[in-house]
Structure 1
């Protein structure tokens, strides 16, 4: 199959370009795309239970633990005991973390606004419909028959 007509190739190549672009921007702030993504997924006011962040980000526990350690070392998050569950912690943004979250948010808005200058709302609606359908096909395990 021609790679330019392969759906998975286009998804992968586009995501790699987006990830590279975001990592280049994050590097200007001594950060990474993963850190920025985590900052955007931690509740600004109340924090987020550490057990809820992994699923929000689609990360494995080992990778998430490493990321959270780095974020704590850089002073963008703090860990507090979860008052509702003594076994878990709430991840809270520090003042510096809140500043960095706003920087990250600005980059996401800038990306979205620039793309919207070149792509119509109708095209974006189609794009979202296509990606939602692909995700549903994968989630519902409708891509491959497990008959081998």
Structure 2
């Protein structure tokens, strides 16, 4: 089987190309794709609880902490006490953060529009069906079960 026939290879290669493209665009404003994604994940008006941001973005807390620290140093976000829960912190966009969020949104929308202009609605519907099926197979553990034993390779 050639690598071009592997589904995971196609997904990974395509995502890497998209990430490079987004990082190139973000670099024009001294930013990164991760920062743009974070800006888009924060509620523009009310802010987002720090504890909800990681799960919303599918990121581990340690990775997100580094991004948030960098964003705070650049003046994109500020941390505020959550008025609904004094134990938690809201991540809020500054005016500069809102400007950068608008830029990030325009980059994402331009990408989406370009793809939609080159691929029929029917093909996009199929694409999303396939992606949803892959996600369901993974989340429902229908590819690798927890009870499968790991086979070891005999070095001899």
TM-score (norm 2): 0.93
Paired residues for 1:24-63 under 5 Å:
24-63=24-63
- Specify the alignment match of 1:12 in structure 2: 12
Larger Rg: 2
Work out the CA distance in 1 between the residues paired with 2:57 and 2:34: 9
CA deviations 1:22-64 (Å, max 9, x no partner) are: 0010011100000000000100110000000001111111111
Structure 1 consecutive aligned stretches of length 4 or more whose deviation exceeds 4 Å? none
Pairwise CA distance, 1:86? 1.9
Unaligned runs of 5+ in 1: none
Equivalences, count: 148
Work out the CA distance in 2 between the residues paired with 1:84 and 1:20: 39
Unaligned runs of 5+ in 2: 150-156
SS of residue in 1 equivalent to 2:88? strand
TM-score (norm 1): 0.97
- Specify the alignment match of 1:65 in structure 2: 65
Work out the CA distance in 2 between the residues paired with 1:82 and 1:2: 52
Aligned-residue Cα RMSD (Å) equals: 0.8
